[in-house]
Amino acid sequence: MESRALLSGLCSNSTIPAIKAPPKQLFLTLHPSSSSSSSSSSAVCFKTPLLVSRTSAKAYFKRLECVNSTEKLGNVVFDKEDYKNPDIKRKKLAVFVSGGGSNFKSIHQACLQGTANGDVVVLVTNKNGCGGAEYARNKKIPLILLPRTKEEPDGLSPSDLVTALREFDVDFILLAGYLKLIPVELIQAYPKCILNIHPSLLPAFGGKGYYGMKVHKAVIASGARYSGATIHFVDEHYDTGRILAQRVVPVLANDTAEELAARVLREEHQLYVEVTTALCEERIIWREDGVPLIVSRENPNEYS
């Protein structure tokens, strides 16, 4: 454990000026590409959530800046002294969802309250009408559709997605109920920077087809006495990346899948916020054998 390599050193994706934590409303100005034939300097001002299309990713993400960042976030106060290292910059997070987005909401609230030293700067979804996307619209968080399909022609290709996330200066990607396989282009662009949460104790009850209520039904049918939540780094396959953190819950004798799901979800919300907090404070290290560990904030010689 003496050999440490801070995770933050593995991601250097800064390509544009930092975007401050969004105020009550986010106002974005998109400047056309410098290759435009027009000599006038035009700009489009959005007062509604920005939906990043395939065209806008290519043509308009040349420059992105906040034009109104003076409002305060209610009574929220961010105090750098709350963190172990006050020199660590606030991290920019992209969250991926396919459903209601309850973990996404927990992470976003933790950022707003100052628990996590980061900001959710963009939401990626494959379902424009899902609950997580609706929450993002209400909170003025920009949206990206992935992948591009006949039903969602404005969805981005993997290469366009990488370009868009880099323009948002994303440091880490958090999957929170995103049901599509992550493109290899994204994994290569963000090595050891993509996390996922799964509603079982991996490697049990994971892999393709194991998601949502299917997982909890399988756990109960197996007779397992314990289940829980697992946060792991993402690789090219479903649920096979290195495990970072787990939380255990009992499986009761008369549990239904819905009851077990609710018990696991409560732990997911807490665990994902704790891991996001550690990630933003650069407390993730890698053991010599490739196992990631979380360094205790109180005692740097203790791990989880």
Strands 28-30 and 44-46: antiparallel
pLDDT tens for each residue of 76-102: 333 434 445 778 999 999 999 999 999
DSSP state of 157: P
Find, among 181, 169, 166, 167, the residue nearest to 126 by Cα.
Answer: 181
- Give yes or no for residue 134 having a pLDDT over 90: yes
Q: How far apart are CA 20 and CA 66, in angstroms?
A: 8
- pLDDT for res 21: 41
Q: Catalytic: 232?
A: no
pLDDT at 240: 96
**Structure-model confidence comparison of residues 15 and 141, the more confident one:** 141
Query: Is the model more confident about 15 or about 137?
Result: 137
Q: What is the pLDDT of residue 54?
A: 54
pTM: 0.75
* pLDDT at residue 35 is higher than 50: no
**Closest Cα to residue 248, out of 274, 221, 267?**
267
Of the pLDDT bands very low, low, confident and very high (cuts 50, 70, 90), residue 150 is confident
| pLDDT tops 50 at residue 245 | yes
> What average pLDDT does the chain have?
81
Q: Is the separation of the CB atoms in 297 and 280 below 8 Å?
A: no
What is the per-residue pLDDT for 268?
Answer: 98
- 149 band by pLDDT with thresholds 50, 70 and 90: confident
Calculate mean pLDDT across residues 126-153.
94
Q: Are 275 and 244 a contacting pair, CB within 8 Å?
A: yes
The CA distance from 23 to 73, in Å, is 6
Torsion of CA 81, 110, 262, 141, to 10 degrees: -160
Q: 261, 260, 242, 263: which is closest to 99 by C-alpha?
A: 261
Average pLDDT over residues 222-228: 98
CA atoms of 90 and 72, how far apart (whole Å):
17
pLDDT-derived band at 53, boundaries 50, 70, 90: low
- The token pair that represents 239 in the structure block: 């649920």
Query: How many angstroms separate the CA atoms of 255 and 252, rounded?
Result: 5
pLDDT > 70? residue 257: yes
What is the pLDDT confidence band of residue 44, given thresholds at 50, 70 and 90? very low
**What band does 3 get if pLDDT is binned at 50, 70 and 90?**
very low
Catalytic residue, candidates 108, 198, 216, 232: 198
Which pLDDT does position 256 carry in this prediction? Answer: 98
The residue-averaged pLDDT of 102-120 equals 97
Residue 234 — pLDDT band, cuts 50, 70, 90?
Answer: very high
